[in-house]
Amino acid sequence: MIKRYADLSLAYAIVAMIFGVFYREFTKFSGFSGRTSLSFLHTHYFILGMFFFLILMLIEKAFHFSGQQMNRVLIAYQLGLNITGLGFLMRGLTQVWGTELSKGLDASISGIAGIGHIFMGVCIILILSKIRKYAA
């Protein structure tokens, strides 16, 4: 599991850097100078992707808490992170393009990011509970 956590950390670091470059270049190419949700992609993937799995790697090395149930929780966590990223991407693209959104579409984009955050939040609680059990 330690290697898997290291691999996931590396993968999310690469994704974070790609989104950072995309944000800078896309807004520059589009002539956009305001605030956009695209900037959140970079930080979310670094913190909730790369750093999260780096920390899990260290905790796994100390407590050996991972198991079959943890695999399912981590898949759900990653699903939540990427759903959140999709919500930020959709919101950011519409902001840069200046797209007028209907109330329903605006709420749908917010809902997508919210569902991703809920997935991650529940999974973080489950992971911390599992770590607490093994750390005692």
Interior/surface letters 27-66, b for 16+ CB within 10 angstroms, e for the rest: beeeebeeebbbbbbbebbbebbbebbbebbebbeeeebb
Where do the structural domains in the chain lie, given as residue ranges? Answer: 2-135
Give per-residue pLDDT as tens, 92-135: 999 999 999 999 999 999 999 999 999 999 999 999 999 998 88
pTM, to two decimals? 0.92
78: how many CB neighbours lie within 10 A of its CB? Answer: 20
Contact status, residue 90 vs residue 116, Cβ threshold 8 Å: no
d(CA 25, CA 4): 32
pLDDT by residue (tens digit) across 26-83? 999 999 999 999 999 999 999 999 999 999 999 999 988 888 889 999 999 999 999 9
pLDDT of residue 67: 84
CB 79 within 8 A of CB 119: yes
